[in-house]
Structure 1
């Protein structure tokens, strides 16, 4: 698919497949088209050419309620506009599933599980607008998890989190994939990406530069081509990937 915004091509003949039960991390320098691609995958933008298909159906053909049940989006910059408590905000994730009689036992279970997964139980009665940026980020992740979507699309979900909660959020996304959801995440931190991803898509100038498993894609040569930096690719004492930018190439 391709998309032009304000006379600038931002996606150029992008093709690929995301797998259920797996975490796909989308990488690339600023302006590579990562967030725009995620918006198209969520149905917030329609490409000029090509289409997004979900389960063999064009995404644009699905009704908004059906699409909302299938896809949970965590945007990069999400504002909380309602002065409601945290549990009520997380409960909004159940709106696509709710019937005319309000919340049912399954809804309450999903809300409680999402609050626990995102370490928000102790925040449940607090006003969401009065939380710190990191706390709000966890609450918004919980709202997505509460919807139990088939697909989770997250744009820089760790950006405002402290290290401990970054690990927790990564574990939430891995757990969702382990339960059968497809997860697509935009990240900048290369080590985080290598540790979280089953597959990686690397973008440059609106195109897919490479896609595949972490060891095949996150190589010094390919990352140099994508970012214009020299990187060290190694492992820590536990054998987990460790990717460190060392210097600009020009």
Structure 2
């Protein structure tokens, strides 16, 4: 059982975004997708989650092409957190989290998912009155509610998160990564676009490195995230590179 990408290529408005990307995401894996701005990370996550069809190559889930799953069947197997969530109406936090449920959500399940990220006290607040970080915590609770049946049953499921650390303070960044780690330990497969290489090094089992739309490295975090990566992919000058290398060394201890 796994999600398998083979030879993915994708273009947008005539511009080639991804070139021949292949990789596998198995249950019980926390995958960090890293790379410079514009490398194609969000586009790749979108293809892996079934939000778009690749121009070339295939994505399959448990041996079946992702494109052949019905929307309802796919929604039971995977949840997606995008970078942008636009809500213009005066929904409460309870309303927003309930949107993640495939069936009528009950308050117990909604509170349970909010509590995963210490956000239960927000349940009666107006969503639009929240800070950016609070909104992000609510959105994470929403995608957890979508997969709560799998979590309760102990079934593997797939969680795709596009820059989930956005707007979170340092404490909640670590709390989120610890939450993802615990879901991984319960059999979830998690793919996470992330810019913080220190957190990726500390928490991820696997790392995919994208540069100019190509997968230039993949493997265990300790093997992939190193000073050579900082130089060749992120093109950090010598002094910042040394600082980052020291932080990565601390994360490995």
Scaled by the length of structure 1, the TM-score of the pair is 0.88
Please report how far the alpha carbon of residue 225 of structure 1 lies from its aligned counterpart in structure 2 after TM superposition: 1.4
Count residues in correspondence.
233
1:169 aligns with 2:176: yes
Counterpart position of 2:22: 15
SS of equivalent residue, structure 1 residue 94: coil
Query: How do 1:99-248 and structure 2 match up within 5 A?
Result: 102-103=104-105, 108-148=107-147, 150-229=157-236, 230=238, 231-232=241-242, 233-234=245-246, 240-241=251-252
Residue deviations 1:181-230 (CA, integer Å, cap 9, x gap): 10000111111111121110001110100000011111211232111114
1:54 aligns with 2:61: yes
Query: How do 1:19-38 and structure 2 match up within 5 A?
Result: 19-38=26-45
Please report how far the alpha carbon of residue 141 of structure 1 lies from its aligned counterpart in structure 2 after TM superposition: 0.4
SS of equivalent residue, structure 2 residue 218: strand
Structure 2 residue ranges without an equivalent (≥5):
1-7, 151-156
Residue deviations 1:136-187 (CA, integer Å, cap 9, x gap): 0000000011112611111111110111111111122111111111000011
RMSD: 1.8
Structure 1 residue ranges without an equivalent (≥5):
243-250
SS of equivalent residue, structure 1 residue 17: strand
Counterpart position of 1:247: none
Please report how far the alpha carbon of residue 236 of structure 1 lies from its aligned counterpart in structure 2 after TM superposition: 8.0
SS of equivalent residue, structure 1 residue 78: coil
1:5 aligns with 2:12: yes
Residue deviations 1:64-106 (CA, integer Å, cap 9, x gap): 11111111111112222442211221122112xx2xxx34xxx
How far apart, CA to CA, are the structure 1 residues paired with 2:72 and 2:217? Answer: 34
Scaled by the length of structure 2, the TM-score of the pair is 0.87
